[in-house]
């Protein structure tokens, strides 16, 4: 499997990615709402029930299903 995105990755930092959505910077990213995480983001490509999966924002890496970043788009 592809490696996990590191929170210290420059792109992860600029997008405010965190592996645990509850750690999202809510002061900086005021659009964050409780309950949002990668597993219910329309960009998440992991299988249902997976703990991690690909995301086109972070090509070649995997994001945590429980993660979050400011590119979040609610799954329709
Ligand atoms: Fe997670 Fe969506 Fe951000 Fe990708 S775009 S890291 S799936 S919140």
Please state the domain count of the chain: 1
Can you tell me which residue has the tokens 């002061």?
Answer: 27
> Residue 39 in contact with residue 75, Cβ under 8 Å?
no
Question: Which CATH number do you get for residue 36?
Answer: 4.10.490.10
Is-contact 43 53, C-beta < 8 A?
Answer: no
Per the domain annotation, does 4 fall within a domain?
no
Q: Which mutation among 21, 29, 41, 66 tests ligand 1's pocket best, with the greatest number of atoms within 8 A of CB?
A: 41
Q: Check if the interface score ipTM surpasses 0.90.
A: yes
Cβ neighbours for 26, distance < 8 A, ≥ 6 positions apart: 32
Please tell me the distance between residue 48's alpha carbon and the centre of ligand 1 in angstroms.
15
Which of these, 15, 63, 22, 14, lies nearest to 41 by C-alpha position?
63
Ligand 1 geometric centre to CA of 30 (Å): 16
> Which residue segment(s) compose the domain that 47 sits in?
10-64
Q: In this predicted structure, what is the pLDDT of residue 1?
A: 77
User: What confidence score (pLDDT) does residue 20 get?
Assistant: 98
pLDDT in tens, 25-63: 999 999 999 999 999 999 999 999 999 999 999 999 999
């Amino acid at each position: 499997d592809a490696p996990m995105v590191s929170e210290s990755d420059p792109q992860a930092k600029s997008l405010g990615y965190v592996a645990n959505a509850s750690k999202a910077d809510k002061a900086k990213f005021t659009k964050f709402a409780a309950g949002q995480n990668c597993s219910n983001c329309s960009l998440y490509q992991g299988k249902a029930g997976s703990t991690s999966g690909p995301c086109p924002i972070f090509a070649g890496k995997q994001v945590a299903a429980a993660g979050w970043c400011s590119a979040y788009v609610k799954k329709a």
